[in-house]
Chain A
Amino acid sequence: MTLVPRAIKRPRKTFAKTGSLAWLTFPALLFFLTFAALPLLGVVVLSFMNWDGIGAITWAGLTNWISLLQDPVTGSSLWITILVVLLSVLVQGPISLLLGVFSAGRQKYRAVLSVLYFIPLLLSSAAVAIAFLSLLDPNFGLSAGLGLPFLKQNWLGEPGLAMGVVIFVLAWQHIPFHTLIYQGGVRQIPASLYEAAELDGANRIQQFFQITLPQLKYTVITSTTLLVVGSLTYFDLIFVLTGGGPGYATRVLPLQMYLTGFRSNDMGAASAYGVILAFLGLTLALILQRLGGKSRQSSQLEGQ
């Protein structure tokens, strides 16, 4: 029984062994090229075109880019995007790390808390935004419930406050995911390292900085990369929560692109925003990869 197929398949086996398994990637490649890679080239092409989204596409040359660079909203949305990325990393990163370490603990109550921490991850951005919209209502929301007047602010009406709210709600929504990543990372640290440290008399804080943090180096890089690239694409939550307002205070690049393309029917200029966004994403990813590459070599030494 086994001899027959073996005899038949031998030639094909060597064929496979030489590595012509590329055909297995073709279905994925077809999807990826058609709906991700080619659109990426398409966005560059369209940024030199005039298109209202319905009619014919005509050559525009540099007009989109020139008007884009002259528009003060471009600079402000670029700055706001970078601000959102920076603040998100600074707020979400450390909290996720600490919560990850906390929830990796084996105590019973921590296991229960971790179950609840996970819930925001299940909600859509639209749901989260709507929940916070009503929670922040000055008359019927949290401030009225707690009777704390300082919570009674025009949260989404003041530029600075609105930005703070956006950062907070983004953190509320995304920290659970990064907490999970860190929790998994912490659980892979060998227990013997801690036992050795305790015998040496290291206290909890020393253990955190001397063992946990160095051992989590890869995890920090993974989480931060996902966080940075992800925070460039925070669109839906901001769209529903503030709509980019008040004024232009929370209008990030993706939002500016959407509004230009689908509200002002200027797909050419919107594509130019798309190019900026893609460029920003690739640049940040490359920078992070560089940083990651360096520490990848040294982490082996420092971790011990």
Chain B
Amino acid sequence: MNSIAMLPTAPRVTAEPAQPPARPKRRKSFRRPNLLGGLAGWIWLAIIIVPLYYVLITSMKNQADYFTTNPLLPAGNPTLDNYALVLQNDFVLYFVNSLLVTVGSVVPAVIVSFMAAYGVTRGTTRVVGGINTLFLLGLSIPLQATIIPVYWLIVRLNLYDNLIALMLPSIAFAIPVSVLILSNFMRDIPKELFESMRLDGCTEWTIMWRLVFPLIRPAITTIAVYNALNVWNGFLFPLILTQSPEKRVLPLSLWAYQDEFTVNTPAILAAVVLSAIPLVAVYILGRRQLVSGLTGGFSK
């Protein structure tokens, strides 16, 4: 709702600016602290952190320590050998594959969704309305239901065991939610802005890229982040559409490492840590943008 007010200043929009800054202090001054809430908050933190902590410390144990030391205590002599082992086992290749698939899916998905969202918000014909309804219907189709025809299609297109095979359905399944979020934001742009650009002689194409694109940049970030998370962590399409180790992406490689390293749990967990590092790094660098993008897009 309040994003109407937020939008014209778009580029630096976060979830916060809608809040009057005076509120927290004023409320705090006559409220006692919420002890029960705080306690629950810390308990949830423990639930989140303990598994992560366990994975991290175990990944730095050698196998003998893994069997003998207390699982929740860090090793006396932490080692990075497990990480070296994972890196020697083609981790970089899988990483690059994941990166290619993610970029190759998210960039086209964002561009075509943006254009489509512009079409369905600005267009007035019945055809456009029908197309919009079709996209909305797509929101409620569970992705898994279509894997067998998708598999058939990919085999027919001679794309089986090719990274492009992973991008095509990923783009298709990113479109409904992306169009929905983008067109929600677009509807909030004041009509006068469009009118004044029209009077200046701009085409719809120019309006789309010069006016609308910068104004809804927060929504663009949202869908880019959301789709990137989904594709980067996707498991099902790689599982059914690729086969050879050279085409493996990270989530699938974890599953494969599990077979490869069998009882070498620390090495498997090192692979888990390595697979998570890129996104954690992105999170650390762009947390504000990332979180506000996600909340902004879905809480509307």
Task: Report A's interface with B, CB cutoff 8 A.
Answer: 2, 5-6, 9, 12-13, 16, 18-25, 27-29, 31-32, 34-40, 42-43, 46, 51, 53, 95, 98-99, 102-103, 105-107, 109-110, 113-127, 130-132, 134-135, 137, 140-142, 144-146, 172, 176-177, 180-185, 187-188, 191, 194-195, 198, 204, 219, 222-223, 226, 229, 232-233, 235-236, 239-240, 254, 257-258, 261-262, 267, 270-271, 274-275, 277-278, 280-282, 284-286
Contacts and interface: CB of A to CB of B under 8 A. Distances in A.
Nearest to B149: A42
A280 B291 CA distance: 32
Nearest to B23: A191
Nearest to B24: A106
B241 to A, nearest CB: 11
B147 A20 contact: no
Contact of B280 (A24, A122, A223, A277): A122
- Give the interface centre of B26, B71, B118, B122 by most chain A CB atoms within 10 Å: B71
A146 B66 CA distance: 15
Nearest to A216: B299
Interface of B: 1-2, 15-16, 18-20, 23-24, 26-28, 30-31, 34, 37-38, 40-42, 44-45, 47-52, 54-55, 58, 66-67, 70-73, 108, 111-113, 115-116, 118-120, 122-125, 127-128, 131, 134-135, 138-153, 168-169, 171-173, 175-176, 179, 198, 200-204, 208, 229, 232-236, 239-240, 250-252, 254-255, 258, 265, 268-269, 272, 275-276, 279-280, 283, 287, 291, 294-296, 298-299
A35 B173 contact: yes
B225 to A, nearest CB: 10
Contacts of A23: 119
Contact of A32 (B134, B254, B279): B134
B144 A22 contact: no
B172 A254 contact: no
Contacts of A110: 41
Given A28-B112, A130-B254, A21 B169 contact: no
A116 B135 contact: no
A121 B148 contact: no
A49 to B, nearest CB: 10
19 contacts: A2-B201, A22-B125, A24-B115, A28-B179, A39-B150, A42-B152, A53-B151, A102-B40, A117-B45, A123-B272, A126-B235, A131-B54, A172-B48, A187-B19, A187-B299, A194-B27, A271-B149, A274-B146, A281-B142
A125 B235 contact: yes
A126 B15 contact: no
Given A31-B112, A194-B27, A24 B272 contact: no
Contacts of B169: 35-36
B254 A258 contact: no
Given A113-B41, A140-B71, A12 B125 contact: no
A48 to B, nearest CB: 13
Given A16-B204, A123-B233, A102 B152 contact: no
Contact of B268 (A29, A121, A134, A181): A134
Nearest to B120: A25
Contacts of B131: 22, 25, 29
B259 to A, nearest CB: 11
B91 to A, nearest CB: 13
Contacts of B20: 191
A9 to B, nearest CB: 5
Given A27-B116, A31-B108, A180-B291, 4 more contacts: A38-B149, A53-B151, A130-B255, A278-B146
Nearest to B27: A194
A186 B26 CA distance: 18
Contacts of B124: 18-19
Given A20-B123, A24-B115, A36-B141, A99 B276 contact: no
Given A31-B172, A40-B141, A145-B54, A5 B119 contact: no
Nearest to B21: A106
A172 B124 CA distance: 44
Nearest to B157: A34
B200 A2 contact: yes
A99 B40 CA distance: 9
Contacts of B153: 34-35, 38-39, 42
